[in-house]
Amino acid sequence: MSQIEKAQAEYETFPQTVESIIIGTVSTEGIPNASYAPFVMDEAKNIYIYVSGLSTHTQNIHGNPHVSVLFIEDESQCEQIFARRRLSFDCTATLMERETEVWKQIVAQFQARFGELIEVFRGLADFRIFCLTPTAGRFVIGFGTAYKIRGEQLDKLVHLTGKN
């Protein structure tokens, strides 16, 4: 198996090695905010977060739908702290309408992954689900092994070198 094939296989499974993502948002005043949220992901690589309307990141998303997300290897699992495996995406956020069939399917995925607490969230009016649709990405496996993510389905890795 070639290096790119190994990287491609790791890219496909890496998001499921973590349960939460770091999210970067910006307010309408241009003030950045870093936070995190548990997530589920569909086959098209859309990322769903179930968040409180009271949180800063949710308020920011309502005002500015451009979101950066980061999946990152747990510090306790990495071999070198300066080279943690990480996957980032630039995304556009869309609020999902409550109680639609798609919304119910996403809630069921959250419940399967995170348990009964999701039933509590479902009853809270301020909790909402956003779909974060990736438009571009980068996957870093270690020193010298960074890849730009391309393709209609964000399914192609291009090794980054000094030339690209």
CA distances from 106 to 21, 102, 123, 164 (A): 17, 6, 15, 38
pLDDT higher at 160 or 137: 137
pLDDT at res. 151: 80
pLDDT at res. 143: 87
Structure confidence at residue 3 as a pLDDT band (50, 70, 90): confident
User: Going by C-beta distance under 8 Å and a sequence separation of 6 or more, which residues neighbour residue 120?
Assistant: none
pLDDT at res. 153: 84
pLDDT higher at 49 or 44: 49
The string of pLDDT tens digits covering residues 86-131 is: 999 999 999 999 999 999 999 999 999 999 999 999 999 999 999 9
CATH H superfamily, domain 3-159: Electron Transport, Fmn-binding Protein; Chain A (2.30.110.10)
Q: Where are the domains of the chain?
A: 3-159
Structure confidence at residue 22 as a pLDDT band (50, 70, 90): very high
146 neighbors 139 (Cβ within 8 angstroms) = yes
Take residue 77 and report the two structure tokens written for it.
Answer: 């699992």
User: Going by C-beta distance under 8 Å and a sequence separation of 6 or more, which residues neighbour residue 78?
Assistant: 84, 85
User: Going by C-beta distance under 8 Å and a sequence separation of 6 or more, which residues neighbour residue 119?
Assistant: 111
pLDDT at res. 4: 85
pLDDT at res. 164: 58
Instruction: Report pTM.
Output: 0.93
- What average pLDDT does the segment 69-92 reach? 95
Structure confidence at residue 144 as a pLDDT band (50, 70, 90): confident
Give buried/exposed letters for 87-112 (b at 16+ CB in 10 A, else e): bbbbbebeebeeeeeebeebbebbbe
pLDDT above 90 covers a percentage of the chain that reads 83
Structure confidence at residue 160 as a pLDDT band (50, 70, 90): confident
Task: Determine the Cα–Cα distance for residues 112 and 133; give it in Å rounded to an integer.
Answer: 22
pLDDT above 70 covers a percentage of the chain that reads 98
